[in-house]
Amino acid sequence: MESTIAAIATSPGESGIGIIRISGEKSLNILNKIFYPASKNLAPKDNNRQLIYGHIKDELGHIIDEVLAVYFPAPKTYTAEDVVEIDCHGGIVPLSNTLSLVLRCGANLAEPGEFTKRAFLNGRLDLTQAEAVIDVINSKTNSSFDVAMEQLRGRFSKEINEIRKEITDVLVDIAVNIDYPDEDIELILYDKLENELRSIKKKVDYLIDSSDTGRILREGLNVAIIGRPNVGKSSLMNAMLRESRAIVTEIPGTTRDTIEELINVRGIPVNLIDTAGIRSTDDVIEQIGIDKSKKSLESADLVIFMIDLTSEISTEDYDILNQVDKSKLLILFNKADKTARISEADIASFARGVRYMITSVNDSKSVDEIENAIFEKAGGNLLLGKESETDKLAGSQKSNIVTNARHKNMLERATTSLGEAINAASGGIPLEFLEIDIRNAYEELGFITGDSVQDDVIDEVFSRFCLGK
């Protein structure tokens, strides 16, 4: 018999209400020992799924707190077990005292994620849905929340299961040919088999391709703003924040440290990093800031390199350009509202195929265009459900977005197995050997939903949860 577990389910600290959650066979029995309804006619068992007003009292009859309590009988609960929730006052003292009393009455303190783990083990959620609970809690924007909720509702699991069903159909065809060998049937099967496997692989590859956008939704897009001093870096940050976060002056070197802020760009969480101006300096403190600026380039997904149009392009600009991975670079030639000293030919020569924009961060239209570029870099079109050629190949106008590194790893292993099976099919390898790669792909996709997963993986997944979830 599973033990009964309990924990505080709300965030620590002072609040109007704090919730204690209990799950397991002893839940109702524990509640009956400590909860005294204001009305004797409102017993929790006879009024399940209803909030009942009353008091929590200890073994000596002392009132611990004035609460609302509710009993949820299994199996239609979060854990699929009997569940009790006690709504206490949200202070540390009433919550701690009530939880201590619950534990003295026979419950065990829940481990991090144990409620959701029980929901998974009891078939209430599959593993991808359980993992989505964390993403819902940690969502930084409406878009990241929407993607997490779709996964929690089972949309991603459904797509994985549909792909596994297609693989099952292929395995059935192979089994028939192995058990009832016929040369003509087998020749037809190889051609058909290769086409079916390619179709399945395209769907898996599409999900893998979405993982960059998924990671950004989950963790945020790291955008570093770099350039020489006084080119408008802090002004750009303030314009995107819609507030004066960074100090802006005409004095070069005003920003001496990196400033980081999380902003929402069309639903994309963006970690915006304003860096110290990069130049040669004898100032020790300024040099520390410059070193940090250069280090921020390593972790950035997008580097916005700003150049002042009112000054000529310098050797320092070329030095900065040569330090940045061109694939993640966007050059802004700023201060377009002033007299330019850089010609269009010089701009094109300097950029050399790198995307660039001519802007003025004092103009809201320019800021909108910069935000559009950030949105595109983050794969925003995928969020909007715009159909690309890859979408058409995958047979879906708006497919799932993979946000979890574990899922991506399993998908990559599955597509490798499918690729090996395709090569084997085109080479006419005996079906018995070809079947091994296809079955491996089936199993690897099963690891995603938890249909075939080891205990240590389950423990690792739920160890990331907080107490009470």
- 170-201 confidence digits (pLDDT tens): 999 888 877 776 655 555 578 889 999 999 99
What's the rounded mean pLDDT across residues 252-260? 60
Q: Is residue 311 located within the same domain as residue 236?
A: yes
* pLDDT tens-digit readout, 355-381: 999 999 999 999 999 999 999 888 776
Does some domain include residue 33?
yes
CA pair distance 369, 191, nearest whole angstrom: 49
Asked if the model's pLDDT at residue 224 lies above 80, the reply is yes
Q: Is residue 349 located within the same domain as residue 251?
A: yes
CA pair distance 317, 460, nearest whole angstrom: 46
Asked if the model's pLDDT at residue 288 lies above 70, the reply is no
Percent of the chain residues topping a pLDDT of 90: 58
Q: Is residue 356 located within the same domain as residue 436?
A: no
- The pLDDT score that the predictor gives to residue 469 is 76
- Please identify, among 326, 351, 381, the residue that sits at the C-terminal boundary of a domain: 381
Does some domain include residue 119?
no
Which CB contacts under 8 angstroms, 24+ apart, belong to 236-243?
A: 236/274, 236/304, 236/306, 236/332, 236/334, 236/361, 236/367, 236/370, 237/261, 237/272, 237/274, 239/361, 239/362, 239/364, 239/367, 240/265, 240/272, 240/367, 240/370, 240/371, 241/272
- The pLDDT score that the predictor gives to residue 380 is 72
Give residue 392's pLDDT band: very low, low, confident or very high (50, 70, 90).
very low
* pTM for the whole structure: 0.81
Does some domain include residue 369?
yes
Percent of the chain residues topping a pLDDT of 70: 87
Crossing angle of helices 114-121 and 127-137, in 10° steps, is 150
- The pLDDT score that the predictor gives to residue 466 is 79
- The pLDDT score that the predictor gives to residue 188 is 57
Q: Is residue 97 located within the same domain as residue 10?
A: yes
State the residue range of the domain holding 165. 155-210+399-462
Asked if the model's pLDDT at residue 467 lies above 80, the reply is no
Does some domain include residue 120?
no
Q: Is residue 20 located within the same domain as residue 76?
A: yes
More confident call, 294 vs 458: 458
Give residue 419's pLDDT band: very low, low, confident or very high (50, 70, 90).
very high
CATH of the domain at 46: 3.30.1360.120
Q: Is residue 271 located within the same domain as residue 295?
A: yes
* pLDDT tens-digit readout, 422-447: 999 988 888 889 999 999 999 999 99
Q: Is residue 199 located within the same domain as residue 246?
A: no
Range among 261-270, 283-292, 437-446 rated most confident? 437-446
Q: Is residue 191 located within the same domain as residue 287?
A: no
3-state SS of the chain is: CCCCEEEECCCCCCCCEEEEEEECCCHHHHHHHHEEECCCCCCCCCCCCCCEEEEEECCCCCEEEEEEEEEECCCCCCCCCCEEEEEEECCHHHHHHHHHHHHHCCCEECCCCHHHHHHHHCCCCCHHHHHHHHHHHCCCCHHHHHHHHHHHCCHHHHHHHHHHHHHHHHHHHHHHHHHCCCHHHHHHHHHHHHHHHHHHHHHHHHHHHCHHHHHHHHHCEEEEEEECCCCCHHHHHHHHHCCCCCCCCCCCCCCCCCEEEEEEECCEEEEEEECCCCCCCCCHHHHHHHHHHHHHHHHCCEEEEEEECCCCCCHHHHHHHHHCCHHHEEEEEECCCCCCCCCHHHHHHHHCCCCEEECCCCCHHHHHHHHHHHHHHCCHHHHHCCCCHHHHHHCCCCCCCCCCHHHHHHHHHHHHHHHHHHHHHHCCCCHHHHHHHHHHHHHHHHHHHCCCCCHHHHHHHHCCCCCCC
Does some domain include residue 215?
no
CATH of the domain at 326: 3.40.50.300
Q: Is residue 41 located within the same domain as residue 169?
A: no
Q: Is residue 171 located within the same domain as residue 234?
A: no
- Please identify, among 54, 89, 110, the residue that sits at the C-terminal boundary of a domain: 110
- Edge-to-edge strands of the sheet including 52-57? 35-37, 52-57, 63-72, 83-89, 17-23, 5-8, 108-109
Please say whether the dihedral angle defined by the alpha carbons of residues 398, 404, 405 and 408, taken in this order, is positive or negative.
Answer: negative
* pLDDT tens-digit readout, 57-80: 999 999 999 999 999 999 999 999
Q: Is residue 361 located within the same domain as residue 260?
A: yes
Q: Burial of 19 by CB count in 10 Å (0-12 exposed, 13-18 middle, 19+ buried)?
A: middle
CATH of the domain at 176: 1.20.120.430
Does some domain include residue 123?
no
- The pLDDT score that the predictor gives to residue 181 is 65
Contacts of 92 (CB under 8 A, 6+ apart): 12, 13, 14
- The pLDDT score that the predictor gives to residue 179 is 76
Average pLDDT of the chain is: 86
- Please identify, among 74, 94, 110, the residue that sits at the C-terminal boundary of a domain: 110
Asked if the model's pLDDT at residue 31 lies above 50, the reply is yes
Does some domain include residue 242?
yes
* pLDDT tens-digit readout, 96-119: 999 999 999 999 999 999 999 999
Q: Is residue 245 located within the same domain as residue 276?
A: yes
- The pLDDT score that the predictor gives to residue 278 is 64
CA pair distance 169, 163, nearest whole angstrom: 10
- The pLDDT score that the predictor gives to residue 277 is 64
Asked if the model's pLDDT at residue 382 lies above 80, the reply is no
- The pLDDT score that the predictor gives to residue 458 is 81
Does some domain include residue 144?
no
Query: Structural domain tally of the chain?
Result: 3
